[in-house]
Amino acid sequence: MDTKTRDYYFDNAKFILIILVVMAHGISKAEGWNPVVTTIWTFINMFHMPAFLFISGYFSKKAAAGGRADVQKLFTYMLYYAVAQIVSVLFDHFVLHDPEVTKSMLYAMSSLWFLQIIIVYHTLLPFLAGLKNSAVMIISLAAGMLIGFDAAVGHFLSIHRAFAFMPFFIAGYVFSPELMAKARQTGAAVRIGAGAFLAAVFAAIHFKLLNMPDMVFTGPFNYYRIAEDTGIAWYSAAMWRAAHYVIAGLMIAAFMLVIPRGKTFFSRFGARTLSVYILHRFLYVTSLEFGWVKNNVNSWGSFILLVLIIIAVTFILSLKPFDIPFKALRSIKLDRILNKEGK
């Protein structure tokens, strides 16, 4: 897309979020070193993927126009996932020598679950497009809560995550452009208030006033598994999921209010966040395998250096050369393939 037609507001939001994604993975093995680092990790994980899904949902309004799926977009996501999954399996098997690497296309390799659930959402959208926004939102909330009672779903097609995170995607899908425009026109007082709210959440996490189990917002875990691993009752796990919907929703709203609205030095990198998301996985799993973070980050100096490296890596992976293979995948048009086969 030409830079003149890009919306810098959303590019800014997406680039800040992809830094947070890489940050959350990068510091995951350092979060036990210091309580503040643990708070940073928890704070980021509580809202960064829900925020990404909110934005994805907001830009999916045309994907189900007229009750029909955007087949080309769905096909492109499938290509992304298939290629990323195959390359990840080969990388983990031949480079990292992981004896337990999955051999299935149905079970996503670590962070590739995001692509799986986007495919699920775009498949479901045509069936929801004809309903009222309030009904779609209620259905997504009910599905997200009810899937927690199913102990059999697990990681298959990331179905649990797809339904658990669906309210955030649907919230973006039903969010009107008019309301978004009003949110972008709010004054300094509202933005300061939003920043203060995020700071208050950070403080509440740090001082254990908000002590949400991380299994509630990080993984595809049913209520019984959360109860078993954390010692809380299954109904408490269900209540925490409901609370997460509310808290993460407010954090997303605050985040969208505080991000820069005009062009910044990093705006142009916001167009290539999905490629960064896929590519950073290889660095992440390699760092886990060799214990780069776990064995070396044990002071504020080393932690700050890690953060700077994470930011630098995010910028580097956002450069155009790294987007070349993804651009090639985007250029594959399903209608051309079908037309050739039909001849």
Residue 220 backbone dihedrals phi, psi, to 5 degrees: -85, 60
pLDDT tens readout for residues 64-101 = 777 778 899 999 999 999 999 999 999 999 999 998 88
pLDDT, average across residues 54-73: 87
Which residues are CB-contacts of 242 (< 8 A; sequence separation ≥ 6)?
145
Strand segments, DSSP code E, in the chain are none
* Structure tokens that stand for 343 in this block: 């001849």
pLDDT tens readout for residues 151-186 = 998 889 999 999 999 999 999 999 999 999 999 999
Tell me, what's the pLDDT at 175? 97
Which of 51, 110, 103 has the alpha carbon at shortest distance from 254? Answer: 51
Query: In the predicted model, is pLDDT for residue 229 greater than 60?
Result: yes
pLDDT, average across residues 121-128: 92
Q: What is the 3-state secondary structure (H, E, C) of 252-268?
A: HHHHHHHCCCCCCCCHH
CA distance 309 to 303: 10
Query: In the predicted model, is pLDDT for residue 291 greater than 60?
Result: yes
Tell me, what's the pLDDT at 343? 56
Q: How confident is the model at residue 342 (pLDDT cuts 50, 70, 90)?
A: low
CB atoms within 10 A of CB 24: 21
pLDDT tens readout for residues 187-198 = 999 999 999 999
Torsion sign, CA atoms 163, 217, 56, 91: negative
Tell me, what's the pLDDT at 130? 86
Tell me, what's the pLDDT at 2? 43
Query: In the predicted model, is pLDDT for residue 15 greater than 80?
Result: yes
* Structure tokens that stand for 19 in this block: 């830094």
Q: What is the 3-state secondary structure (H, E, C) of 179-213?
A: HHHHHHCCCHHHHHHHHHHHHHHHHHHHCCCCCCC
User: What is the percent of the chain where pLDDT is above 70?
Assistant: 98
Which of 123, 196, 201 has the alpha carbon at shortest distance from 158? Answer: 123
Tell me, what's the pLDDT at 3? 45
The mean pLDDT of the chain is: 94
**Would you say 112 and 281 are in contact if contact means Cβ atoms under 8 Å apart?**
yes
Q: Report the interhelical angle of 71-90 vs 113-128 (nearest 10°).
A: 160
pLDDT, average across residues 260-274: 95
pLDDT tens readout for residues 195-208 = 999 999 999 999 99
Own/partner pairs, 165-168, CB within 8 angstroms, 24+ separation: 165/49, 165/50, 165/53, 165/117, 166/121, 166/140, 167/137, 167/140, 167/141, 167/245, 167/249, 168/50, 168/51, 168/53, 168/54, 168/57, 168/248, 168/249, 168/252
Query: In the predicted model, is pLDDT for residue 1 greater than 50?
Result: no
pLDDT, average across residues 257-271: 96
CA distance 198 to 253: 10
Query: In the predicted model, is pLDDT for residue 52 greater than 90?
Result: yes
pLDDT, average across residues 215-222: 90
Q: How confident is the model at residue 4 (pLDDT cuts 50, 70, 90)?
A: low
Q: How far is CA 270 from the centre of its chain?
A: 14
